[in-house]
A and B are shown apart, each in its own frame.
Chain A
Amino acid sequence: GQQLNQSPQSMFIQEGEDVSMNCTSSSIFNTWLWYKQDPGEGPVLLIALYKAGELTSNGRLTAQFGITRKDSFLNISASIPSDVGIYFCAGQGNPSGGSNYKLTFGKGTLLTVNP
């Protein structure tokens, strides 16, 4: 089945530093998504990527959809304490067929920001 490899598994950084995390897949996805999950809450959508090579920003967040449709990265610039949480990548849909609704999640990156 489809699997997403997300790295790093965890990060411990100082406030103000930039952060980068990435995901790779053995399969192609139509859409790539990045979510943030706070403790005891559901995931919140940060950025959605629809086109291969697409680079999208949302405030201090920047994400890119790889040209091969098998990878993506998320950058957070000038981190602040409220950036703490778990970040998940997710792939949605497959050009070869199957459900376009299902999400396949990475295992998450736990981000800790030291004030």
Chain B
Amino acid sequence: GAVVSQHPSRVICKSGTSVKIECRSLDFQATTMFWYRQFPKQSLMLMATSNEGSKATYEQGVEKDKFLINHASLTLSTLTVTSAHPEDSSFYICSAWGAADTQYFGPGTRLTVL
């Protein structure tokens, strides 16, 4: 139980294009999901908290107009990186709030912006 999937697992795009990443809770419903980014050899940094049916809450320093989050259902949250640039290249990981009152993580999405 408590399985979270992400799609795609890796994506390469050109600078200036937008990329959408999906996060799904497969066997449970999640009213709250989270988006993290992780640079090489570093820890996970929370970008935003995604709440079903309402606006996401962004961490300080994260541009909400660049990282668009939509949590349209209890099992799906999407992160869209708009007008991506090479410095946006990173490992993006989502998580969903589930049983045991904690977060369960997806497998991550490797984004490379050329």
Contacts and interface: CB of A to CB of B under 8 A. Distances in A.
A92 B105 contact: no
Nearest to B106: A42
Contact of A102 (B4, B46, B101, B104): B46
Contact of A107 (B42, B95, B103): B42
A41 B97 contact: no
Chain B interface helix/strand/loop/mixed: strand
A42 B102 contact: no
Interface residues of B, number: 23
A88 interface: yes
Contact of B100 (A48, A102, A105): A48
Contact of B43 (A42, A92, A99, A107): A107
B79 interface: no
A42 B46 contact: no
A31 interface: yes
B58 to A, nearest CB: 13
Interface in B4-60: 4, 6, 32, 34, 42-44, 46, 49
B44 A102 contact: no
A102 B49 contact: yes
Contact of A44 (B32, B44, B102, B105): B105
- Most interface-central of A33, A41, A42, A103 (chain B CB within 10 A): A42
B110 interface: yes
Contacts of A43: 44, 93, 105
A78 interface: no
B107 A41 contact: yes
A107 B41 CA distance: 9
A40 B108 contact: yes
18 contacts: A31-B101, A35-B105, A42-B93, A43-B105, A45-B102, A48-B100, A92-B103, A99-B49, A100-B101, A101-B32, A101-B49, A102-B46, A102-B49, A103-B46, A103-B103, A105-B43, A105-B44, A107-B42
Interface of B: 4, 6, 32, 34, 42-44, 46, 49, 91, 93, 95, 97, 100-108, 110
